[in-house]
């Protein structure tokens, strides 16, 4: 249970507002109230979950691993503090005393109120089939559910998702991305039947099948089989599907028990009027728990519209009230574009306008009634979803452009004469047009923020308005608004295409490789519509790395797609000869290795031997035709490549540490050697250098490395993101640890996070400057479980990189494949 308490800044004279529910609807109402009348109320919030307010609709990317919990937090603890709000997290209210105007929480805490806001949300529907209460049967409604699903996915096995609606499909894709074999069971004839027509539903099912998610429609669950844990799901037709995890995603039910027990009018939901007032004038309700004009809503947009009315009412302002919502839906699955809005059932008096492009996987359907858009279904190309939705909500007559309506807003903005600038299209939207559905932000809010606060970048707009801060699908519209508002002064986002062969940037390529299960360079180029048949020298190495990072142990490293230095295992010099650098663990060597280097230099007439800054010996001036022989001789002496040419670990520099130095506090040489043995042969976005200093005198210059370890009397200071090149950057202090095991775990976790998140050819210094040190800390320091998982993934990938792809490329022409397998015997 978390308790964040703040004394009232203006004494006890302020009216007391108690909010039951720390979710999206209740806190959005509080935010709106604070915008309109800051300081008006003494506010107390009770939440059933032991955490701050977060974006529940982003649970899918949390499950798939695309986002961390920190990424989906809407209001952190500092927000409650700054606004003087008392938060009781993990302490649900158990009763409401309307006569005494007070609430009682599970902990025994009793708080009086002048106004009460109920925002208890909804709960998952559980099908009461035999076995529904077995261990291994979970729902998909909150972070705790995600944690259970991730724990189950960690053991592999099979998952069955009962329900092919929005949440069910997002859960299925998330579990599949975590390595489980997933089957979706859906009672209706096609998935998402409430949001999609049959054509779009079948296209979606085909895409899910292609990704490895099995979809069975018309499936009626009879029983969940198992003894002390779920074992299988049995259908009424006798089909049995093995399962170590079952996810119930068949619908939601408003949480009304608390209100009903307090004597407040309840039907399907808590009954409210247009001003969100219940049968008790002192009590308001908002969100999925309410019933308005006979309707209950389970999507975020109506919740935000209700919250705006609540905020105004609590602030004492006039409002037209809430008149109900026209809803739209987007599927939160990376690489699958699905949008629907309104009523697409058709029927008498309506007409359909349909567009199909089987080759591109695009389907569009508009349903018109009396010359107005009544419903829309888009699959594969959802760029005009916001425009169609605005036409639908406004009830605008589109008869005069019926024939070109499917060509989209840009075409319409150009007067039907061709393609307009997308900036002009978004500029044509009215101020009340919704831009960000995840956070309920309209165009007027964004343009006002740009003008009032001088915002010039997408990141600044996100921070100020929360628009595009969740799933990011509205980023294009946001860029258009910025371009329109700033004119010639606008500079587009730095996110650029990987190369001229594609319109996709690094980050989207990485996401789509995972989302679409692409496991070869040709597959990526085909699926992502590459403009050139074989790519170029810029994109092929990047794709090769991204595929290695996405599918360790499955993807076979494509040596021909590497840079020439990596293909030849040596650095080319200005005279056309090559430089060869054998590895010296932690900068240590021995007479056998030195003799081998001397013998190789004599035999092949190598003119220059140079001690490098990384404490190794560089053999300069090797002829290309001599490279196989040079490596064969060095390998015979037990020396492997130092990868001085690779986008990989280069060196681990050490001082002599406590083994020899009178100032040393830790054994830096042995730590450096063990770190190098753990990380050698790794593939990373760019070269990666480490150092271990045995005391704070820092003789190994650990604070300008990608990862630096500085020993202290009590343990080790760990530093990240340094660079000693042309642009010197001192490291940032990541954290302090006390044991060598912790050092190893942090190194492995950091390298894995770097190669999973950074762009190809991006060093750790610019990467950390781009994403922020807080991002790295949130994933590694603050989240011990995620740190351990990152480290485990690193070790798993190393077991492949050290024995398979690197071994086959140990020396030129694939000779001496045992080069990289001698690690265990090298002393």
Give the annotated binding-site residues for [4Fe-4S] cluster.
Answer: 655, 661, 695, 699
Q: Which two tokens stand for residue 95?
A: 């009763």
Residue 763 zone, left/alpha/beta (φ > 0; ψ -120 to 50; rest): beta
Backbone angles phi, psi at 202, to 5 degrees: -70, -40
Evaluate whether 607 touches 620 at the Cβ level (below 8 Å): yes
Evaluate whether 379 touches 200 at the Cβ level (below 8 Å): yes
Evaluate whether 304 touches 321 at the Cβ level (below 8 Å): no
Nearest-Å Rg of the Cα atoms of the chain is 30
User: Can you tell me which residue has the tokens 């290309």?
Assistant: 624
Residues written for the chain: 827
- Which parts are annotated binding residues for siroheme? 699
Q: Kindly compute the dihedral angle of the four CA atoms of residues 195, 197, 200, 203, in this order, to the nearest 10 degrees.
A: 110
Going by DSSP bridges, is the β-strand pair 578-580/617-622 parallel, antiparallel, or unpaired? antiparallel
Give the rounded distance of the alpha carbon of 521 from its chain centre.
Answer: 23
Q: Which among 570, 527, 530, 525 has a CA at the least distance from the CA of 544?
A: 525
Gap between the Cα atoms of 306 and 286, Å rounded:
6
Gap between the Cα atoms of 104 and 112, Å rounded:
9
Gap between the Cα atoms of 426 and 796, Å rounded:
47
- Which parts are annotated binding residues? 655, 661, 695, 699
Q: Which residues on adjacent β-strands are paired with residue 653?
A: 691
Give the rounded distance of the alpha carbon of 100 from its chain centre.
Answer: 46
Going through 559-616 in order, the beta strands assigned E by DSSP cover 571-572, 578-580, 608-611
Residue 478 zone, left/alpha/beta (φ > 0; ψ -120 to 50; rest): alpha
Gap between the Cα atoms of 816 and 636, Å rounded:
9
Gap between the Cα atoms of 172 and 293, Å rounded:
34
Q: Which among 67, 77, 84 has a CA at the least distance from the CA of 47?
A: 77
Q: Which two tokens stand for residue 696?
A: 């704070």
Residue 130: strand, helix, or coil: coil
Q: What share of the chain is helix, strand, coil (3-state, %, to 5)?
A: 35, 20, 40
Q: Which two tokens stand for residue 140?
A: 């998909």
Going by C-beta distance under 8 Å and a sequence separation of 6 or more, which residues neighbour residue 598? Answer: none
Going by C-beta distance under 8 Å and a sequence separation of 6 or more, which residues neighbour residue 60? Answer: 167, 170, 171, 173, 174, 332, 333
Residue 86, H or E segment: strand 86-89
Q: Which residues on adjacent β-strands are paired with residue 354?
A: 365
Evaluate whether 240 touches 225 at the Cβ level (below 8 Å): yes
Q: Which two tokens stand for residue 559?
A: 């040596």
Gap between the Cα atoms of 26 and 48, Å rounded:
13
């Amino acid at each position: 249970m978390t308790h964040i308490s703040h004394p009232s800044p203006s004494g006890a004279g302020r009216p007391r507002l108690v909010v039951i529910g720390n979710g999206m609807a209740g806190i959005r109402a509080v935010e709106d109230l604070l915008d309109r009348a800051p300081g008006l109320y003494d506010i107390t919030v009770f939440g059933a979950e032991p955490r701050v307010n977060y974006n529940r609709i982003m649970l899918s990317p949390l499950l798939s691993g695309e986002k961390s919990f920190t990424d989906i937090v809407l209001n952190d603890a500092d927000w409650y503090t700054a606004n003087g709000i008392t938060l009781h997290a993990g302490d649900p209210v158990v009763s409401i005393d309307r006569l005494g105007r007070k609430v009682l929480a599970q902990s025994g805490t009793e708080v009086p109120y002048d106004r009460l806001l109920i925002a208890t949300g909804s709960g998952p529907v559980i099908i009461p089939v035999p076995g529904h209460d077995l261990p291994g049967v979970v729902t998909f409604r909150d972070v705790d559910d995600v944690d259970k699903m991730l724990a189950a996915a960690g053991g592999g096995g099979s998952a069955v998702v009962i329900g092919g609606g929005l949440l069910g499909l997002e859960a299925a894709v998330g579990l599949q991305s975590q390595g489980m074999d997933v089957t979706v069971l859906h009672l209706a004839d096609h998935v998402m039947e409430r949001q999609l027509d049959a054509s779009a539903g079948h296209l979606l099912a085909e895409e899910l099948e292609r990704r490895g998610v099995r979809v069975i429609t018309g499936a009626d669950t009879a029983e969940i089989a198992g003894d002390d844990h779920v074992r299988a799901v049995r259908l009424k037709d006798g089909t049995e599907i093995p399962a170590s995890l079952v996810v119930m995603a068949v619908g939601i039910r408003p949480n009304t028990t608390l209100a009903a027990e307090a004597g407040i009018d309840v039907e399907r939901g808590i009954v409210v009027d247009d001003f969100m007032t219940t049968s008790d004038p002192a009590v308001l309700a908002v969100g999925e728990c309410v019933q308005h004009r006979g309707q209950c809503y389970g999507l975020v947009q109506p919740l935000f519209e209700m919250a705006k009315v609540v905020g105004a009412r609590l602030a004492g302002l006039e409002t037209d009230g809430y008149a109900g919502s026209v809803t739209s839906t987007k599927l939160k699955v990376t690489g699958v574009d699905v949008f629907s809005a309104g009523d697409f059932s058709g029927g008498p008096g309506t007409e359909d306008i349909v567009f199909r492009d089987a080759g591109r996987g695009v389907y569009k359907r508009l349903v018109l009634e009396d010359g107005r858009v009544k419903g829309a279904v888009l699959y594969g190309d959802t760029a005009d979803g916001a425009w169609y939705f605005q036409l639908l909500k406004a009830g605008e007559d589109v008869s005069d452009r019926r024939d070109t309506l499917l060509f989209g807003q840009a075409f319409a903005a150009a007067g039907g004469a061709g393609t307009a600038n997308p900036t002009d299209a978004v500029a044509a939207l009215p101020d009340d047009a919704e831009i960000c559905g995840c956070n309920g932000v309209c165009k007027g809010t964004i343009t006002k923020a740009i003008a009032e606060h001088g915002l010039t970048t997408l990141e600044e707009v996100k921070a100020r308005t929360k628009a595009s801060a969740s799933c990011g699908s509205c980023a294009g519209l946001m860029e258009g608004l910025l371009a329109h508002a700033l004119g010639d002064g606008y500079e587009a986002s730095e996110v650029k295409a990987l190369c001229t062969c594609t319109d996709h940037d690094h980050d989207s390529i990485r996401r789509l490789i995972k989302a679409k299960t692409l496991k070869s360079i040709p597959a990526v180029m085909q699926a992502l519509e590459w403009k050139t048949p074989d790519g170029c020298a810029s994109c092929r190495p990047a794709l090769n790395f991204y595929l290695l990072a996405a599918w360790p142990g499955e993807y076979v490293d494509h040596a021909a797609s590497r840079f020439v230095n990596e293909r030849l295992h040596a650095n080319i010099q200005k005279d056309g000869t090559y430089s060869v650098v054998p590895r010296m663990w932690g900068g240590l060597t021995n007479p056998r290795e030195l003799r081998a280097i001397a013998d190789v230099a004599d035999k092949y007439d190598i003119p220059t031997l140079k001690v490098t800054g990384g404490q190794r010996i560089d053999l300069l001036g090797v002829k290309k035709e001599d490279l196989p022989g040079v490596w064969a001789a060095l390998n015979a002496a037990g020396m492997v490549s130092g990868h001085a040419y690779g986008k990989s670990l280069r060196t681990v520099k050490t001082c002599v540490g406590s083994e020899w130095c009178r100032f040393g506090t830790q054994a830096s040489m042995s730590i450096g050697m063990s770190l190098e043995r753990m990380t050698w042969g790794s593939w990373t976005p760019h070269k990666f250098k480490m150092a271990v200093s045995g005391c704070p005198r820092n003789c190994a210059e650990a604070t300008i490395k990608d990862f630096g370890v500085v020993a202290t009397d009590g343990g080790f200071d760990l530093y990240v993101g340094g660079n000693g090149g042309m642009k010197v950057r001192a490291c940032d202090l990541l954290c302090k640890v006390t044991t060598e095991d912790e050092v190893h775990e942090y190194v492995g976790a950091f390298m894995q996070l770097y190669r999973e998140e950074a762009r190809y050819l991006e060093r750790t210094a610019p990467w950390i400057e781009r994403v922020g040190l807080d991002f790295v800390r949130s994933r590694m320091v603050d989240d011990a479980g995620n740190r351990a998982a990152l480290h485990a993934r690193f070790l798993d990938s190393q077991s492949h990189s050290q024995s398979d792809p690197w071994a086959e490329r140990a020396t030129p022409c694939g000779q001496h494949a045992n080069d990289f397998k001698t690690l265990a015997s090298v002393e």
